[in-house]
Amino acid sequence: MRSKTLVISAVLTAVVALYLVLLAGRAVELLRTGDPVPVALGVGVLVLPVLGVWVLVATWRFGLRVQRLATRLADEGGLPDTSELPRRPSGRVDRDAADAWFADRKAELDADPDDWRGWYRIAQAYDLAGDRRRARDAMRTAVTLAERDTR
């Protein structure tokens, strides 16, 4: 599964990178006209590939950090297993089961709020509940704490 995800991520990154190169090419064409309005548009369009590259790099860096945490947690035998949770026909975890699983992870986190492992698990619980924003925030906290962790 991991290699499939990596291949999909690499292909999507290549597609976005190609789009950014094409967009930068259009910006350069606008800049070469020398006319004030197209040059101003060219400058504006050139900002988009720069932002796009920044987003790509930041996303890959975050993903690699999260993957390192997952590997570390798996090596410790602490990677949560959600395969036994009941699922809907769509494949999503049943809401009541996700809520109960979340409550258990929240109790673990409350017991040791400075442990990155608890933050990693609560991020997974938020993801199961469909709250992607809180899942990302919790995972950022896990990454930050793990980078400070010397255990």
Average model confidence (pLDDT) across the chain: 90
Fold assignment, 95-148: 1.25.40
Q: What is the pLDDT of residue 91?
A: 82
Q: What is the pLDDT of residue 151?
A: 52
Stated pTM of the model: 0.78
Instruction: Provide the token pair at 50.
Output: 């720069």
pLDDT digits (tens, 9 = 90+) for 52-109: 999 999 999 999 999 999 999 999 988 888 888 888 888 888 888 888 899 999 999 9
Helix or strand or coil: residue 93? strand
Domain boundaries, the chain: 2-76, 95-148
Q: What is the pLDDT of residue 78?
A: 87
Q: What is the pLDDT of residue 2?
A: 65
Q: What percent of the chain has pLDDT over 70?
A: 97
Which ranges of the chain does DSSP label H, i.e. alpha helix?
Answer: 2-32, 36-76, 95-111, 116-128, 132-148
